[in-house]
Amino acid sequence: MKKKLILATGIGVGFVLGSRAGRKQYNALVARTREMWNSPQLQRFIGAVTGSVKDRAPDIAGQAGAKAKQFGAGAADEARSRGQAGLADTLDKAGDFAQGAAKSVGEAASNAAARHSNDSSGSSPTDTSAETSPEAAPTQAPRHESDA
């Protein structure tokens, strides 16, 4: 997905920079994009997808967490049968952690979908006001030395 986004951005920049008409073509492209973004059909689609995510995210995350815990428990049982009690305890804890993490992800996805469905500002994809507000700033996970 990231590669596609980079490609689309590159094509857009190339179009703008390479266009003989320049700013006029860019403004026409922005106007068409805003018109498409604000179309009732697209907004209905976004609303339907948002509602689906809001409704299903906790369930899907819960199922993923249960599977992770089940896998951890199975691996722990296998480690115990081989006499590796320390590894078994670690695997049990990892399963519990994965289940809790999946639950948190589901709640976060549901909350994000709810915030989007409550947003009636009608902002367009070229509107950067949300990106500069402190409330919209994403939280960053702490970096570890191994991440470098």
Do 88 and 80 contact (CB within 8 A), yes or no? yes
What per-residue confidence (pLDDT) applies to 85?
87
Do 69 and 95 contact (CB within 8 A), yes or no? yes
**What's the DSSP call for residue 140?**
-
Of 5-19, 44-58, 96-110, least confident by mean pLDDT is 5-19
pTM value is 0.43
Q: What is the pLDDT of residues 74-117, one digit of tens each?
A: 888 888 888 888 888 888 888 888 888 888 888 887 787 777 66
